[in-house]
């Protein structure tokens, strides 16, 4: 019997195939479980399918005549600043899942409706604020700028 706990354990052990099969089994029983759908999207995003046909093999001339070769930083295998691989070692999600801004779409391509829209009364409040005849700015911003007019820079 497959459960969400087993899928999460497989995911954090980086066994993406087992986590994918487990998510499929859980979704076959109840397809409305949003947490399982999210885990399945993350698992499918984290899977890596290397394509051998698109593998780039540089020629000997490109290796010898590379102008930027000495500009590349040398990183030791046991260096402290060596790249770590995935972000899971630090406890966060990878950038493939986490959006960069609140208004941006995650790289999985799935976003819930109205997740970036903030529905509040700022628009109505901006209409109701008092304005002067000379500018479209509210009175509070103009009175805050008054002392600055007489200053010498």
Q: What is the pLDDT of residues 69-94, one digit of tens each?
A: 555 555 555 545 545 544 444 555 56
Token look-up 């070692």 returns 89
Q: How far apart are CA 150 and CA 142, in angstroms?
A: 14
What DSSP character marks residue 92? S
Q: Is 43 exposed, middle or buried (0-12, 13-18, 19+ CB in 10 A)?
A: buried
Q: Where are the domains of the chain?
A: 1-49+92-145
H/E stretch holding 16 reads helix 16-29
Q: What is the CA radius of gyration of the chain?
A: 27
- Whole-prediction pTM value? 0.35
Q: What is the pLDDT of residues 95-142, one digit of tens each?
A: 555 555 555 555 555 655 555 555 555 666 666 666 555 666 655 555
Grouping H, G, I as helix, E, B as strand and the rest as coil, residue 24 is helix
Q: Is 38 exposed, middle or buried (0-12, 13-18, 19+ CB in 10 A)?
A: middle
């Amino acid at each position: 019997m497959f459960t969400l706990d087993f899928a999460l354990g497989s995911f954090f052990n980086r066994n993406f195939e087992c986590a994918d099969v487990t998510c499929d089994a859980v979704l076959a029983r109840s397809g409305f479980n949003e947490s399982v759908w999210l885990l399945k999207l993350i698992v499918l995003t984290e899977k890596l399918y290397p394509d051998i046909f698109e593998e780039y093999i540089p020629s000997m001339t490109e290796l010898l005549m590379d102008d930027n070769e000495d500009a590349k930083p040398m990183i030791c295998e046991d260096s402290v600043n060596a790249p770590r691989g995935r972000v899971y070692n630090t406890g966060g999600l990878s950038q493939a899942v986490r959006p960069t801004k609140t208004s941006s779409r995650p790289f999985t391509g799935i976003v819930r409706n109205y997740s970036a829209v903030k529905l509040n009364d700022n628009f109505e409040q901006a209409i109701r604020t008092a304005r002067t005849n000379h500018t479209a700015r509210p009175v509070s911003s103009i009175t805050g700028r008054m002392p600055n007019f007489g200053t010498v820079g």
